[in-house]
Amino acid sequence: MHATVRDHANDDGLRAGVEARLTIHHLDLLDEATVSSAVADAVDADGPPDVLVNNAGYGLIGGVEQVRLDRVRAVFETNLFATVALTQRILPLMRRRGSGHVINVSTIFDAGLCLPALGYYVGSKAALESVAEALAVEVAPWNIRVTNFQAGPVTTELSREWGDRLHGAEDPRPGLSDELYSWVLGGTGPEPQPPDQVAEALCDLIEADSPPLALQSGPAARGYAAGALHDPTRANELEPLLEAFGATSTARDTPAV
């Protein structure tokens, strides 16, 4: 079993509770040299991989109008482009093996309407999910499965950039991030899960004989996803968010000029 980290300071914590032999490699998705080295070392040790878990995440909070484009490019570079690049590197090895499973750790908010202040983060994960859906068909002849693992919200210490938001009178929604956290933590959305529950669900997925294309991390997340599939117009999702975040259909129909 192989894991990758950008900082070896937490190696002991990563090994805790892992019964199998775990080799930890330094890897930064944005550093090609570390990617090449980590993949080569893992393959030399144990041969072609049978499972790839794409768990890298760049968090970004801020309204669509509030976030600078360099921050937008950074989140897509990590969550989409660099993740796809690593997957492209691993797929030939899985074909050589004759089987494999690619798992993209995504977010439950891909399954429903994207939340305000999370447009770019969720958008990057949604783009990855769309790519993965195409990939699932393309690699099926080699017995390679693909799953989008829709987690969360999860009570971790994921570091989130604030997007260098506009300040003062220029900021159209200065309290938007606070509204987001109130929505997530206030019982309106799916209940946040502790990391160990999410890890257990991910382990079950890795060991599954017939893994699905999409899997949510727990009952609350599954209920949230199921609710998003009932109305093709998505009005059943939009109206509650408009109300929760201080907007109305009337305001939406008569924009200010």
User: Which residues are the active-site residues?
Assistant: 121
Residue with tokens 């570390």: 34
The structure tokens listed for 142 are: 């080699």
Q: Give the separation between CA 93 and CA 78, rounded to whole angstroms.
A: 22
Contact 41, 141 (CB under 8 A): no
Report which of 179, 149, 143 is spatially closest to residue 63, judged by C-alpha positions: 179
H-assigned helices in 47-166 = 69-76, 83-97, 119-138
* List of long-range contacts for 199-202, beta carbons under 8 Å, 24+ apart: 201/149, 201/151, 202/53, 202/103, 202/105, 202/149, 202/151
